[in-house]
Amino acid sequence: MYRVVTAGALALVLAACSKGAPIPEGGPGEAASAATAAASDTLPVMGAPRNVLAVGDSLFAGHGLANPAEAYPARLEATLRARGVNAKITNAGVSGDTSGAGAERFAFVLRSQPQKPDLVIIEFGGNDVLRALPPQETRANITRMLDAAKAAGVPVLLMGMLAPPNLGPDFKARFEPIYPELAKAYGAKLVPFFLAPVIGKPDLIQQDHIHPNPQGVDAIVAATADQVAAAIPKR
């Protein structure tokens, strides 16, 4: 059902990963984590914390948003806590990252967590599409991340992406199966198309016509929060 999308809308949304954004001092996502913690502290604590690591590009980093607490991982944490899940989400989103850049830092980021995550969310591929990188490279890079998560014993939720029609049917046929096929091979959970909630909805996009605005982020959170909650292993 996610294929019913205009070429213009797909190009607009996939471009969300292409713009660089400054990374807060202290490492990717630190400011978002601090802001989220402050917001979450006003909510009741429900049982032991469930630690989630979100690794991705600008769609996680929150490029163009005025407040780090408006980024997807921060809003997701607040939503999960409001639903009774004591989530603590670390935002390791870096704007401009391709899947190759993500694969290079993934194992280090995973090892660097103070506590072993209960779940890691992986979101890459938009920049690969924009640069028309060979789909086999994207597949190999995401495989590296899944291998590292498997070796660490951490379950994965994989955020899928689509390819724009202008790259041709052969590219689409090689790129789009990457996510469901790897999710099946590794036993990972899958969101088929992360950006589906904002496709064709300009009121959910920033004035740059590229990145989801706070309302767009909330729409994506609303569409994916149940899947994230279900992907966190029960204790």
Q: In 3D, which of 85, 95, 84 has the Cα closest to residue 119?
A: 85
3-state percent breakdown (helix, strand, coil) of the chain, nearest 5: 50, 10, 35
- Which helix (H) or strand (E) covers residue 139, if one does? helix 135-152
Q: How far apart are CA 111 and CA 145, in angstroms?
A: 12
Q: Calculate helix-pair angle for 135-152, 178-186, nearest 10 degrees.
A: 20
User: Is residue 152 packed enough to be buried (19+ CB in 10 Å), middle (13-18) or exposed (0-12)?
Assistant: middle
Calculate the alpha carbon distances from 95 to 28, 145, 184, 186, 212 in Å.
9, 18, 28, 26, 14
Q: Which residues are catalytic?
A: 58, 208, 211
Could you say which DSSP state residue 45 is in?
Answer: P
